Amino acid sequence: MNNWIKQRPQWLLLACLIVVSPLASAGPAIQQWQTSNGARVYFVAAPELPMVDLRIVFDAAGAHDGKLPGLALLTNGLLEEGAGKLSANQIADRFAAVGANFGASSHRDMSVISLRSLTQPELLDSAVATLTSVVTQPTFPQKALDRERNRLLIALQSKKQSPDALTDEAFFHAAYGNHPYANDASGTEATVKRIKRQDLLKHYKQYYVGKNAIVAIVGAIDRKQAEALAETIVGKLPAGQPASAIPAVSALTKPQLVKQEFPSSQTHIQVGQPVLSRNDPDYFPLYVGNYILGGGGFVSRLTAEIREKRGLSYSTFSYFAPMRQNGPFIMGLQTRNDQADEALKLLNETLKNFIDNGPTADELKAATQNITGGFALSLDSNAKIIDNIAAIGFYQLPLDYLDSYTTKVDAVTVEQISDAFKRRLQPENMVTVIVGGTVDNAAR
């Protein structure tokens, strides 16, 4: 669970932060079947490298935390703290001894367990045996819960020293109100303190079941081996039931401004609203349109207005984060405190202009050329392929999703973008979060 604490390496500076929009694209032959207990399996054969990637995704994340935000994350994180007769140390040693990489993470929609292993049989068999114990026989030791709870509390505390994290947190609270998406997976200090071992056991029993699981496999094995792997790892879980639906997100009905004082030299700003689910018919016009507005790295309108023309911010962006229920549209930046008003005004004007007038034909052409021309780049490694097929499985997108992706992007018109942005975004009802210092705290 070391991943809660992120150390940012300072040794490498990029010319621009690339905001990775949820881009997928065409391609690999996906085979799909179910295990005996109803887990849906998605498999892509990748024979070139002697390795295999496995990902098990449960619909068991923060969105189902109910009154105990943080529960799904702790449950997921504690899987490797003890399983069957194995201690946390033994589990870690067994993965390491065969060079396997184990990972667990939990977000708002997905709780994920992942494994990367070499395919040489003795090594893979050992890694899979350990993984199977972790998935099917976790023991959730009380001592481990106490310790990981303390570590999570520290992680929550460390967010309070990051203006960026505070901005993000305030945005979701304001935009989602009472909806479960309001909290991120790590919950709050109050709820994390209340979580008991019994809650973990109950969460695990209800959600870590066959019918609530997706298994994605990419690697140098054949279909038969992939079937056996999936059956071994999740086949012994009870079939159970799929998780109940996450409630729909209410549309915002009035503007909200959240201002938070923070002793930083920059002010961080986010503006947006809940808008898009993963299976939404407007996905393509909004996605392509956003590339033009603020998704296209160096070449977006926001970057042109705020960074290139005026030098106001290092990173300015907009994105849609489609989720099971309506995920947010967010645009944002960070700038020296005394420039915050000017930058916020530009952010809003750029959006309004885009909604009112839509993109130009040239902009659309450049956008589709980038997305379709760069299509191969989003599938050029096993790691990227498994990202894509796990999402296809989890959100039940069609199996030809990747094959038809570029065609759908190419079909998007200026009118469709204009229409979708007008219908789906309401600048008059957006949440605006401003976290930063006062002007006299700025550098000059």
Partner 1 sequence: MKQRNTLVALFSALLMVQPVVASEVQEYTLDNGMKVFVKEDHRAPVVASMVWYKVGSSYEQNGTTGISHVLEHMMFKGTDAHAPGEFSRIIAANGGQDNAFTSRDYTAYFQRLHKDRLPISMELESDRMRNMKVLDEEFAKEVQVVMEERRMRTDDDPEALTSEAFNAAAYVNSPYRRPIIGWMNDLENMTAADIRAWYKTWYAPNNASLVVVGDVQPEEVLALAKKYFGPLQPDTITPPKPVKEVEQRGERRIIVKAPAELPYLLMGYKTPVAKGTADEWEPYALAVLSSILDDGNSARFAKRLIRDQQIATSAGAGYSPFARLDGLFMFDGQPAKGHTIAELEKAIRGEIKLVKDELVSNDELARIKAQVIASEVYEKDSVFYQAMQIGSLETIGLNWRIGEQYADKIKQVTAEQIREVARKYLIDDHLTVAVLEPLPLDHKKPHRPMGEMLR
> Which residues in 91-150 contact partner 1 (CB under 8 A)?
91-93, 95-102, 116-118, 120, 122-123, 126, 144, 147, 150
Q: Which of 37, 188, 315, 348 binds partner 1 (CB under 8 A)?
A: 315
Total residues contacting partner 1 by CB under 8 A comes to 96
Site for partner 1, residues 396 to 435, rule: CB under 8 A? none
Site for partner 1, residues 277 to 296, rule: CB under 8 A? 296
- Rounded to a whole number of angstroms, the minimum distance from the CB of residue 264 to partner 1 is 4
Closer residue to partner 1 (CB): 220 or 240: 220
Instruction: Give me Rg for the CA atoms of the chain.
Output: 23
Closer residue to partner 1 (CB): 13 or 29: 13
160 binds partner 1 per the rule CB under 8 A: yes
Closer residue to partner 1 (CB): 106 or 326: 106
Distances (CA, A) of 80 to 1, 64, 75, 77, 103: 9, 21, 10, 7, 9
361 binds partner 1 per the rule CB under 8 A: no
CB 140 within 8 A of CB 82: yes
Task: HSE, CB side, 13 Å, CA atoms: give it for residue 262.
Answer: 25
261 binds partner 1 per the rule CB under 8 A: yes
8 binds partner 1 per the rule CB under 8 A: yes
Q: Which of 64, 203, 336, 424 binds partner 1 (CB under 8 A)?
A: 336
Per-residue mark of binding to partner 1, 15-54 (x: CB under 8 A)? xx-x---------------------------x-xxxx---
- Looking at residue 248, its amino acid is A
**DSSP secondary structure letter of residue 395:** T
334 binds partner 1 per the rule CB under 8 A: yes
Q: Which stretch binds partner 1 (CB under 8 A): 4-12, 180-188, 227-235, 240-248?
A: 4-12
d(CA 308, CA 16): 11
Closer residue to partner 1 (CB): 123 or 177: 123
Closer residue to partner 1 (CB): 273 or 339: 339
* Beta strand spans in 92-143 (E): 101-106, 111-118
2 binds partner 1 per the rule CB under 8 A: yes
Closer residue to partner 1 (CB): 63 or 442: 442
Backbone angles phi, psi at 170, to 5 degrees: -65, -35
Supply 381's token pair: 């490694």
Closer residue to partner 1 (CB): 8 or 254: 8
**DSSP secondary structure letter of residue 294:** I
Closer residue to partner 1 (CB): 273 or 313: 313
Distances (CA, A) of 382 to 46, 109, 379: 7, 23, 8
Closer residue to partner 1 (CB): 270 or 325: 270
Site for partner 1, residues 170 to 229, rule: CB under 8 A? none
d(CA 191, CA 137): 26
CB 326 within 8 A of CB 248: yes
d(CA 423, CA 27): 32
309 binds partner 1 per the rule CB under 8 A: yes
CB 155 within 8 A of CB 5: yes
d(CA 78, CA 138): 8
The dihedral through the CA atoms of 291, 295, 296, 299 has a sign that is positive
Closer residue to partner 1 (CB): 60 or 312: 312
Q: Which of 182, 258, 344, 366 binds partner 1 (CB under 8 A)?
A: 366
Q: How many CB atoms lie within 10 A of CB 298?
A: 11
- Rounded to a whole number of angstroms, the minimum distance from the CB of residue 405 to partner 1 is 13
d(CA 226, CA 404): 26
Nearest to 26 by CA among 384, 406, 386: 406
Backbone angles phi, psi at 91, to 5 degrees: -60, -50
Q: 3-state class of 337 per DSSP?
A: helix
Q: Which of 32, 36, 142, 161 binds partner 1 (CB under 8 A)?
A: 161
- Rounded to a whole number of angstroms, the minimum distance from the CB of residue 55 to partner 1 is 14
151 binds partner 1 per the rule CB under 8 A: yes
- Rounded to a whole number of angstroms, the minimum distance from the CB of residue 233 to partner 1 is 19
